[in-house]
Amino acid sequence: MKVLITGITGFVGSHLAEFLLSKGVEVHGIERWRSRTENIEDFQEKITLHECDIKDFHSVKNVISKVRPEKIFHLAAQSFVPTSWHAPQETLTTNIIGQLNIFEAVRDLGINPWIQLACSSEEYGMVLENEVPIKETNPLRPLSPYGVSKVAQDLLGYQYHESYKLNIVRTRAFNHEGPRRGDVFVTSNFAKQIAEIEKGIKPAVIYVGNLEARRDYTDVRDIVRAYWLSTEKCVAGEVYNICSGRDWRIGDMLDYLIGLSKTRVEVKQDPARMRPSDVQILLGDNTKFSKQTGWKPEIPFEKTMTDLLNYWREKVKKGNFLTR
């Protein structure tokens, strides 16, 4: 089995690569010339990297033509919601046109690999109280350019399956966390701040945004197992929520992290960390995916948070500060 992972240098891609290597799969991935490779450095010699920017059709077609993968896990994206406010055009181009390039390359080459699309719970956007837990049939009311880009990726996947019978499976993952999460994401940002405070290199104050929002968290290692299963057991053209079905208030997640540390910290609101329009609750219903694949999350969120904090403690100890 030969697979291609776009976004292999990122948070999810690196975990997926490790998971697939453990199953004996031949793993290929794409990197850009200035990609940071620290997420994959522990196993880089076991994978094959190809230089490619998904915005460039020729580059995408070249790689797919060379690898001829049986499965493509399409994870490459501008993945950060707040950045999508500052750079909406870049977000839409990378996420939508980048994916279009993959579809068109596959069509041009006359191959039909399974293509898993990393769609997102951010597509649901504004969710009414009586709509939780959210099913796949819920209306999509995205509240950020990122959310809109993911709706477009999702629907483009649907359309290319319907029009050209491409073996596309769409997964809408809710929040996923764990070691290697970029420090712009809230769980990782809090964990990093705590590790820095413990080390004494930052005053004992944690800056926070909206603590009242509620999120459905799953460990990234459960998510990548789900992505694999989606290409093994799901129906092409269909869309599946991947989530734990349990929500956490962000403030409670922060209290849990602080409780893992012996250091006393003060929590302060930072207006710069509030989004122009935030999604108040994202709680998913994973029934469709669980029934189809037998998947359920195995790693408790408490372990995810502990592993994340330990990851940052290690990084801070080495003086190795990852930004994103």
Binding site for ligand A2R (CB under 6 A): 7, 9-13, 30, 32, 35-36, 53-55, 75-79, 94, 98, 118, 120, 173, 182
Non-local CB neighbours of 271 within 8 Å, separated by 6+ positions: none
State in angstroms the smallest separation of the CB of 121 from ligand A2R.
9
CB closer to ligand A2R, 177 vs 196: 177
State in angstroms the smallest separation of the CB of 204 from ligand A2R.
29
State in angstroms the smallest separation of the CB of 74 from ligand A2R.
7
Closest CA to 239 of 177, 170, 308, 300: 170
Non-local CB neighbours of 160 within 8 Å, separated by 6+ positions: 103, 166, 168
Q: Is 272 buried (19+), middle (13-18) or exposed (0-12) by CB count in 10 A?
A: exposed
State in angstroms the smallest separation of the CB of 107 from ligand A2R.
20
CB closer to ligand A2R, 18 vs 53: 53
State in angstroms the smallest separation of the CB of 221 from ligand A2R.
13
State in angstroms the smallest separation of the CB of 141 from ligand A2R.
18
Structure tokens at 310: 């330990």
State in angstroms the smallest separation of the CB of 224 from ligand A2R.
10
CB closer to ligand A2R, 227 vs 248: 227
- Give the integer Cα–Cα distance in Å for 141 and 12: 25
CB closer to ligand A2R, 13 vs 125: 13
- Give the integer Cα–Cα distance in Å for 12 and 181: 8
Closest CA to 195 of 250, 252, 261: 261
- Give the integer Cα–Cα distance in Å for 85 and 186: 17
CB closer to ligand A2R, 5 vs 309: 5
State in angstroms the smallest separation of the CB of 94 from ligand A2R.
5
CB closer to ligand A2R, 35 vs 189: 35
**Alpha-carbon separation of residue 162 from 155, 167, 188 (angstroms):** 10, 10, 39
User: How many other β-carbons are positioned within 10 Å of the β-carbon of residue 35?
Assistant: 18
Non-local CB neighbours of 121 within 8 Å, separated by 6+ positions: 134, 172, 173, 174, 175, 216, 241, 243, 282, 284
Q: Which residues of 72-110 are buried (b: 16+ CB within 10 A; e: fewer)?
A: bbbbbbbbbbbbbeeebeebbebbbebbbbbbebbeeee
Structure tokens at 260: 């893992």
